[in-house]
Chains A and B, each alone.
Chain A
Amino acid sequence: MSRRVLDHLHLNAPLAVAVLTRFIRDAVETSGTTGVVVGLSGGIDSSLAAALAARALGPERVHGFLLPYRTSSADSEADARRVAAHLALPHRKIDISPMIDAYFAIETDADPARRGNKMARERMTILFDQAKKLGALVLGTSNKTEILLGYSTVFGDNASSLNPLGDLYKHQVWQLARHLELPAEVVAKRPSADLWPGQTDEGDLGFDYATADEVLWQLFDEGLTPDEVVERGYDRAVVERIVTFERQFRFKRRLMLIARLSGSAVNLDQEIPRD
């Protein structure tokens, strides 16, 4: 990653954690709820969100849910359990296969994208139902990189009551995860939505997160044009792909309460119309 961009993305981690834990505590207290529920995928984002919540509220008020489908990777579940144990969270597994299979028994022509979206939304409905049952809020786990790229299922994994990660680029998610000493297996593995076997985020996107963060930071925080970013040595096709994603998926962004850390928080500093 470019040294110059890296210096800008680097956070004062203790301060960021102090701010984000207060964000979670404030949201829970002012809503009069008992805590949060969070879907644990075994990935870096949900692990960090859960770790922040555990610090903010105490682990007993953070309810982790493992929501695998029958084709989900066994490693994902093992990592999710590892995180729950590491943070001492009450947690529970609910297999979503019966609900998903019942639907696709009558929708036999669905492609992997539709199936993946349905799984993400099934998990969302379970999390909101469990939140209702427990008198808790649903903790969001979408980071700024995926929000800007629109790399999420709208009303699925991007749905939440509060999101402490929404103004953190992926690089910053990794930084805070290391700072909070999350399990090494979780920090080291390649990000995946695990919606079908062998899927990786970077494979779906067509570029890696380091490049995405660098390009997005230069476009959104520094204010360069796409041509100026290309002039700094980035592949034009990749920059154009990022710009296209950003424009195409703006409609996914408008329902999130995001903890603002920077001068470029989505929806606050940048109220960009959807159209």
Chain B
Amino acid sequence: MSEPAAGSSRLTVGLAQIDCRLGDLAANLDRHLAWIERAKAAGVDLLVFPELSLTGYRLLHLTTRVALPPQAPLLDRLAEAARPMAVVAGFVEESDRGLLHNSAVLLSGGPRRHIHRKLYLPTYGLFQEERFFRPGRRLDLAPLPWGRAGVLICEDLWHPELARRLAVAGARLLIVLSAGPGRVGSGDVPASHESWEMLCRTTALLDTCWVVYCNRVGWEEGSFYSGGSLVVRPGGEVATRAPFLDEHLLVTEIDLREADRVRWRLPLLADERIDIEGPDAEDRP
């Protein structure tokens, strides 16, 4: 593994479509370390794990027991093991104000840690996130050696203004961590995946950026996660896809310049207008 050349826009992305042990930080750390070794052997530069990959998703009242501050030694171990790769993992973050967030951390060698706190916490159907987490308040670009990126978590992608704002601000890569419960209907793929693929492709089309979507697999409390992780090109074509239901390392070479070339042909972001007026607040439901 070599350090990325200065100014290089090419990188190899690995999506670690793994299962997690609910509420077991040590077991999940071991699993991350094993997948980091596999990814290194596959020449990965940027390795992405699913939402809440270090803790499992459906924690309910276990949430407080697995919370970590952003300076936690466990995250140091992850960063050291990953070096020189950059790695993105999901965890329960306890902020310095004592609030709990559903967060993703980007560890890329240096002392700086980019953290994205999930902005939209689904609390409907089988989702109960607002009972246990506080929503984030900021959207930031993630600094990567290959260019600007944005990190979003699951439900965040269903609110398209977030991806749009990141793309307008210069992100050419969107990293989406997910723990999307699967459903089975009559279609060829899990019914839940049909929506996710549409969403990833639409985002890559409208925001003319790469979208890498890492969804987990396995079972929690009778509900399964369907996998089917995706890498989607700027413009919306699916570059690679992981299988459904089983653990998988999806390795894909991508070039962030491809987003620039698409944007020259399709200048949706350059044309974006923020000066359009109405409908006024009182017109809204």
Contacts and interface: CB of A to CB of B under 8 A. Distances in A.
A269 to B, nearest CB: 5
B224 A15 contact: no
Contacts of A267: 222
A126 B224 CA distance: 30
A19 B192 CA distance: 13
Q: Which of A19, A22, A262 has the largest number of chain B CB atoms within 10 A?
A: A19
A11 B187 CA distance: 8
Interface in B206-240: 218-219, 221-224
Interface residues of B, number: 21
Interface string B179-219: 00111111111110000000000000000000000000011
Interface string A254-275: 0001111111010111000000
Contact of B219 (A7, A22, A263): A22
B126 A265 contact: yes
B218 A263 contact: no
A2 interface: no
Q: Which of A10, A27, A260 has the largest number of chain B CB atoms within 10 A?
A: A260
Contact of A263 (B125, B186, B187, B189): B125
Nearest to B224: A19
A15 B183 contact: no
A7 B187 CA distance: 11
Q: Which of B218, B224, B245 has the largest number of chain A CB atoms within 10 A?
A: B224
Contact of A265 (B185, B191, B222, B245): B222
Contacts of A15: 184, 188-190, 244
A65 interface: no
Contacts of A257: 221-222
B223 A260 contact: yes
A26 interface: yes
A113 interface: no
B258 to A, nearest CB: 33
Contacts of A265: 126, 222-223
A261 B184 contact: yes
Given A26-B219, A265-B126, A18 B245 contact: yes
Interface residue range, chain A: 20 to 34
A268 B219 contact: no
B221 A268 contact: yes
Interface in A16-52: 16, 18-19, 22-23, 26-27
B186 A7 contact: yes
Task: Tell me what chain B mostly uses at the interface: helix, strand, loop, or mixed.
Answer: loop
A258 B222 contact: yes
A8 B183 CA distance: 13
Contact of B184 (A8, A19, A269): A19
Given A257-B221, A259-B222, A19 B182 contact: yes
A71 interface: no
Interface in A229-275: 257-263, 265, 267-269
B187 A23 contact: no
Nearest to A268: B126
A12 interface: yes
B222 A22 contact: no
A265 B221 CA distance: 12
B126 A26 contact: no
B126 to A, nearest CB: 4
A186 B177 CA distance: 45
Contacts of B126: 260, 265, 268-269
Interface string B160-185: 00000000000000000000011111
Q: Which of B185, B187, B224, B245 has the largest number of chain A CB atoms within 10 A?
A: B185
Contacts of B184: 11-12, 15-16, 19, 261-262
A51 B182 CA distance: 23
Contacts of A259: 222, 224
A267 B126 CA distance: 9
Q: Which of A12, A26, A259, A262 has the largest number of chain B CB atoms within 10 A?
A: A12
A223 B126 CA distance: 16
A22 B223 CA distance: 11
A259 B190 CA distance: 14
A220 to B, nearest CB: 13
A265 B125 CA distance: 10
Contacts of A263: 125, 183, 191
15 contacts: A7-B186, A8-B185, A15-B184, A15-B188, A19-B190, A22-B219, A23-B224, A258-B222, A259-B224, A260-B181, A260-B222, A260-B223, A261-B183, A268-B221, A268-B223
Given A8-B185, A12-B188, A263-B125, 16 more contacts: A7-B186, A11-B185, A15-B184, A15-B188, A18-B244, A18-B245, A19-B184, A22-B219, A22-B245, A23-B219, A26-B219, A260-B183, A260-B223, A262-B183, A268-B223, A269-B125
- A-B pairs, top 4 by smallest CB distance, nearest first, are A261-B184, A268-B126, A260-B223, A10-B186
